[in-house]
Structure 1
């Protein structure tokens, strides 16, 4: 699993990035006048106000017990048909379509990295937190960009202005560059805002997946756009984070730009993904 450079991301005959999202706008345009724009901004206001150190610790403790339900990875994928992400300005399709678009785009360009295909399939499974059997959490506690809590909120975070209403914003223990952390402490020691990324990471780790650390890094930090798009918070990364970030940067192209109206034949590709799930996960997982 050697690191791959940027030039290898556009293989001949491979995945081509579309120019527009499902609404005809450029991707991740949070100012575009679309039917979703106002709702997305309202989402981020709530997200930035309520994601505090205390809230994150409470959620990690509660959901880390994995006592809600037992089911297979594929059963969970099918549950995502009931979920639409209100924070996403690019997509209003059921989430399982996005999972398969992402995985199939990766598979086309990286046919030999089957762990990366599976990471594409499962990276958003934590969004089942929105469903009643998983606690029915509000959207602001499940989706959207993620970021560290316990240190200063970087200005590159989308709709940063709303952090001023967060109770941690003026807390001297939390509002400095390092806050409760130290230089190169490693992202594994950093509390991230609670959501589907961290939840799916906990599920995979506690159910003893055999996926490599790069896959777990992708699952846990794929919504951490302040890091992998803006270069913020690099002072908290250790050497393993630096290596894994190379794979996340590759993955991000497929996660973001595969959101289109191109449909995937679920039944046709299902046997392949079931074989990957069997390879890397137990038949039933605790969620």
Structure 2
């Protein structure tokens, strides 16, 4: 490995606090899915009653979305693989009712989103990207597996509340995808999808605190759509009163394309910028990494007027990945050493340059 000139300073407590808020945010999003599933079940029952006509528009929309086919950049399926967007099976036996009620979201989560929504301005996001691309920034240089081991030090493993290592959490997602027979590129996406949290090693340079590392993401530079969680907290954001940024389209052209949005800075955006030019991941995988926290879009159906031709395929990809991000943490404990050879082979396939600049 080419060592960094200086080793970033880091406090383990920062990592523990970050994971605590990240898990609390995930719990809220898990319940969103549960409530949506209950609503869908009720909707299907209504299909046998008098409300059929009322529901036809939703049915037609879903059918149109299902017509779109996937292009995976010449990455073909092996004989034992299934399409990436086949229904997830690994979580079919889980009791999702165990996840906390949405209405009981903790004050910690509310406080987190209040700070996040107030501070994510266009000016801040431009500055964050400038800091990331600054030629003078010292960038850690390491391979994917080494990055996973580095992420392990994010939390002090002597903490009695810590039951799984960060590597085990990543392997849980990857193994769930693998068990469902999804493509190899999606398996390795599950393996790396949270490595953006390495940015916390550069607190004060790549991030300020928890609010610009984790949580739901959204575009800046246009009106805050109501599909955002705790939408009311945006009232104190300076961009809310900007003549351009407060409009529906904001600084974007109609149908500009999801990939052309300036997403709120965080670990998803950081990892996307690191991997997009240093991997052989297909566009669907990069979308899974960049947009899996963009719940106002892939769950709330917001920001559709900004989508361009082809974005429906990216939306399908992100939605296909979402269950493996949210629900795999309750699976059994993976044997890291037993699984390492398989995933090292995947890493070599999709990250051929071995050493990445972070």
Shorter chain as denominator, the TM-score bin is 0.7 to 0.9
> 1:179 — aligned with what?
250
What residue ranges of structure 2 are gaps of 5+ in the alignment? 1-68, 72-82, 156-161
- Do the aligned partners of 2:298 and 2:315 also contact (CA within 8 Å) in 1? yes
Structure showing greater Rg: 2
Question: Aligned partners of 2:338 and 2:169: how far apart in 1?
Answer: 16
Q: Would the alpha carbon gap of residues 93 and 225 (structure 1) be closer, same or farther in structure 2, given more than 3 Å must change?
A: farther
**How far off its partner does 1:192 sit?**
0.5
> 1:194 — aligned with what?
265
> 2:132 — aligned with what?
63
Deviations 1:177-210 (A, max 9, x none): 1000111101121101000111101000232x11
> 1:88 — aligned with what?
none
Worse-superposed segment, 59-68 or 239-248: 59-68
TM-score with structure 1 setting the length: 0.86
Larger relative helix fraction: 2
> 2:179 — aligned with what?
108
Question: Aligned partners of 2:143 and 2:113: how far apart in 1?
Answer: 32
**How far off its partner does 1:74 sit?**
1.0
What residue ranges of structure 1 are gaps of 5+ in the alignment? 85-90
Question: Aligned partners of 1:17 and 1:44: how far apart in 2?
Answer: 32
Q: Would the alpha carbon gap of residues 31 and 82 (structure 1) be closer, same or farther in structure 2, given more than 3 Å must change?
A: farther
SS at match of 1:131: helix
SS at match of 2:276: helix
Matched, 1:54 2:123: yes
Mapping of 1:129-278 within 5 angstroms?
A: 129-132=199-202, 135=205, 137=207, 138-207=209-278, 209-260=279-330, 262-278=332-348
TM-score with structure 2 setting the length: 0.69
Deviations 1:99-118 (A, max 9, x none): 2111111111124x100001
**How far off its partner does 1:132 sit?**
4.1
Report runs of 4+ in structure 1 exceeding 6 Å deviation.
none
SS at match of 1:193: coil
> 2:99 — aligned with what?
25
**How far off its partner does 1:252 sit?**
0.6
- Do the aligned partners of 1:197 and 1:221 also contact (CA within 8 Å) in 2? yes
Question: Aligned partners of 1:110 and 1:235: how far apart in 2?
Answer: 34
- Do the aligned partners of 2:225 and 2:302 also contact (CA within 8 Å) in 1? yes
CA RMSD of aligned residues (A): 2.4
Q: Would the alpha carbon gap of residues 166 and 93 (structure 1) be closer, same or farther in structure 2, given more than 3 Å must change?
A: farther
- Do the aligned partners of 1:25 and 1:32 also contact (CA within 8 Å) in 2? no
- Do the aligned partners of 2:288 and 2:317 also contact (CA within 8 Å) in 1? yes
